[in-house]
Amino acid sequence: MNTLKFYMVTFFIICSVPYVCNAQIDYNQRNTQASLDVMQYSIKNNHNSNKNAKGSPFINETFEVLKFKKFGNKVFSGRYDANLGEMQIRRENDTIALNANENFEITFVSSNKTYKTLSYIDNDGISKRGFLVVLNETDSIALLKEEVIKFHEEKPSTNGYDKAKPAEYKRVKDTYYYKIGEHVSVLPQKRKEFTKLFPEHSRKLEVFIKKNKISLKKEDDLISLFKHIGTL
């Protein structure tokens, strides 16, 4: 009799495990969706309103697989609107834009490209908050990049001789930033101004920049330079 009870209890436990696991998965999914619901705002949808324009407001038009650091290995589908500074996430029944006032670290899986939401000061001295690309990062310093696509309105011909210009999305030159502590500012493009950021290593940096023919306007050179700074 005791043996029969043992087998019955064991059978019940085995049968229950999938339901418990599924319930846990459903709970985690609902919890993740609820978190995203709080961290979103409605999409401005400029792409639809300017659908006849040349080019695209997105860095990549198609939605790509990405991961949030805060959600572990769970995968999502998203794309970055560099005209509005929106990170769009496509869900089962809708597409949302993340609220940049929240703290996000998002990595696109195929390219290993990471975006972070940060507060920073742009070229015009204006304080902003948005998504910046992380090019190199240590505990004390980071090299970041701002991607911008501008929208140009349609320009009709004014005198019959000049050509009309269609509306167009056009990517502008990327802006590079440095982060020390919590301070994020535009990266100087002149050697002397740059080395002043690191007074204790300025001479070593002068030598490294000159020896390796580093351009402070080239992304690959900047990444090499910041990797070197991380060793000092």
Distance between CA atoms of residues 50 and 162, nearest Å: 23
Question: Strands 64-68 and 168-171: what pairing?
Answer: unpaired
Residue showing tokens 């005791």:
2
How many degrees, rounded to 5, is the angle at CA 54 between CA 50 and CA 56? 75
More confident of the two residues 185 and 161: 185
Give me Rg for the CA atoms of the chain: 25
Question: Strands 113-121 and 105-108: what pairing?
Answer: antiparallel
Q: Which of these, 109, 112, 84, 110, lies nearest to 98 by C-alpha position?
A: 84
Q: Which of these, 209, 220, 217, lies nearest to 229 by C-alpha position?
A: 209
SS3 content of the chain, % helix, strand, coil (to 5): 30, 30, 35
Encode pLDDT of 68-108 as tens digits: 998 888 999 999 999 999 999 998 888 888 988 889 999 99
Question: In this model, does residue 6 exceed pLDDT 50?
Answer: no
E-assigned strands of the chain? 40-41, 64-68, 75-81, 86-90, 95-98, 105-108, 113-121, 127-137, 141-146, 149-152, 168-171, 175-180, 183-186
Phi-psi region of 83 (alpha: psi -120 to 50; beta: other; left: phi over 0): alpha
Distance between CA atoms of residues 226 and 137, nearest Å: 8
Distance between CA atoms of residues 80 and 64, nearest Å: 10
CA quadruple 200, 133, 149, 216: dihedral positive or negative?
positive
Most confident of 27-31, 111-115, 123-127, 204-208: 111-115
- Bridge partners for 144 per DSSP: 134, 177
- Percent of the chain topping pLDDT 90: 50
Query: Identity (one letter) of the amino acid at 182?
Result: E
Task: State CA 73 to chain mean position distance.
Answer: 17
Q: Which of these, 76, 88, 3, lies nearest to 40 by C-alpha position?
A: 88
Task: State CA 144 to chain mean position distance.
Answer: 10
* Interval 131-141 mean pLDDT: 94
For residue 3, the model assigns a pLDDT of 56
